[in-house]
Structure 1
Amino acid sequence: MMTGGLSDTKPATPEVQQIVNQVKPQFESRANTNCREFKAIEYRIQVVAGTMYFIKVQVSDANYVHLKVFQRLPYENQGPSLADFQTGKTRDDPLTYF
């Protein structure tokens, strides 16, 4: 993968789910909603000065959101932050840069 480019789409891992769990309160606050379900389905990454994650998250039976999450470099010792999100997505919508 080229630095700055998006990786291929991969199935979500426990590490990605942990990132999703950490940014859930940020998403709920900014989207003004409460999600009982918040399950990472798949993801792509972009290597920048840290890692930008693009993550498809299932929030109900038929509803999905796409999250853009920035994970700083390890030495900065900070958790992930929600950079942006898109709502109204479906299971079949591709993860693209936004």
Structure 2
Amino acid sequence: MSEQQQDTKVGGLSELKSANAQIQLLADVVRNEVAVKLPEHFVIFRAFTYKTQVVAGIMYYIKVQIDREGYVVIKVYEKLNNTGLELMGVQPNHTENDEITYFE
């Protein structure tokens, strides 16, 4: 069981955590898909903070810095047994201090 799985409540969102290299890698895998969904071009793509949710796999809600002051939250689903990642959604127009919350 990974560190993320141990700190995640079943069904609910975990506590806020600082992004690490593993979370940056997850974000990088879906970067091109995120670019398609955003109307603006981003110059940075740095995972900043995140929360997780245990479902049939793990849902990651990752706040990503996309420019000097702009952030988006991406929702990435990691299937059971690490069998793949899927971008489930993008919330634009976030700031560094916005809370990460559940969204469809």
TM-score (norm 2): 0.86
Which residue is 2:61 aligned to?
54
* Selected match of 2:14 from 7, 12, 22: 7
Name structure 2 gaps, 5 residues minimum: 1-7
- Please say if 1:84 is aligned against 2:89: yes
Report the identity percentage: 35
- Please say if 1:93 is aligned against 2:101: no
Deviation at 1:33, TM superposition (A): 4.1
Deviation at 1:29, TM superposition (A): 1.2
* Selected match of 1:72 from 79, 99, 103: 79
- Please say if 1:17 is aligned against 2:17: no
Letter in 2 for 1:43: Y
- After the TM superposition, list the runs of 4 or more consecutive aligned residues in structure 1 that deviate by more than 4 angstroms: none
The count of corresponding residues between Structure 1 and Structure 2 is 96
Deviation at 1:6, TM superposition (A): 0.6
TM-score (norm 1): 0.91
- The Cα RMSD (Å) is 1.3
- Please say if 1:34 is aligned against 2:46: no
